[in-house]
């Protein structure tokens, strides 16, 4: 769960302090993000009663914590998503400023699948895609969980396990 501190900083409320910076002008100032006249209409309500409206060029940047995150061998990422597709939509991204072609990216592809990829100095460390059994670009709300563990990457969408495919 995250909370906007001020301006462009979003706090990781898990206690790990892997805070993120908003890229592309993300706005959480709407006091009623699930309002009917809003792009977040029908959103499941969170404890913070806020949502982030991403449009494809906006995402949360984890670069400030990429070294700490890259040393983790297990964990999970969970969020609610509503997308109507059209183009790839980055959700989370982080890169090493001092190492070329080294980054992490989690995004919804234009075909409605979820992809996680990680590169280190141009070498592919991970590229895993959901199997397409759920179309994440259907304009409906979906609860997404990405789990990284000893058995690799797994996805859960709307409470159901979704196969991870190596493209």
pLDDT at 115 (0 to 100) = 95
The pLDDT, as a whole number, for residue 164 is 93
Q: Facing residues of 146 across strands? A: 77, 155
Note the pTM of the prediction, 2 decimals: 0.75
Give the angle 74-76-77 at the CA atoms, nearest 5°. Answer: 145
Residue 9: which residues within 8 A CB-CB, separation 6 or more? 19, 20, 21, 22
Mean pLDDT of 6-24: 68
pLDDT of residue 128: 92
Q: How confident is the model at residue 151 (pLDDT cuts 50, 70, 90)?
A: confident
Q: What is the DSSP letter of 111?
A: T
Q: In whole angstroms, give the CA distance from residue 117 to residue 46.
A: 28
d(C-alpha 21, C-alpha 119), whole Å? 21
pLDDT tens digits along 19-57: 777 777 665 544 444 444 444 445 554 444 456 666 667
């Amino acid at each position: 769960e995250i909370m906007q501190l001020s301006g462009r900083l979003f706090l990781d409320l898990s206690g790990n302090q892997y805070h993120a910076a908003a890229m592309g002008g993300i706005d959480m100032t709407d006091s009623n993000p699930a309002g009917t006249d809003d792009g977040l209409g029908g959103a499941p309500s969170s404890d913070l009663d806020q949502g982030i409206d991403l449009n494809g060029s906006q995402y949360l940047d984890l670069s400030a914590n990429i070294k700490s995150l890259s040393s983790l061998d297990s964990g999970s990422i969970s969020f609610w998503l509503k997308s109507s597709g059209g183009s790839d939509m980055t959700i989370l991204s982080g890169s090493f400023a001092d190492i070329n072609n080294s980054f992490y990216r989690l995004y919804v592809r234009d075909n409605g699948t979820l992809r996680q990829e990680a590169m280190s100095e141009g070498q592919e460390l991970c590229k895993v895609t959901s199997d397409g059994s759920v179309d994440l670009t259907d304009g409906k709300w979906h609860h997404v969980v990405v789990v990284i563990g000893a058995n690799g990457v797994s996805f859960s969408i709307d409470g159901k396990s979704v196969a991870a495919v190596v493209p």
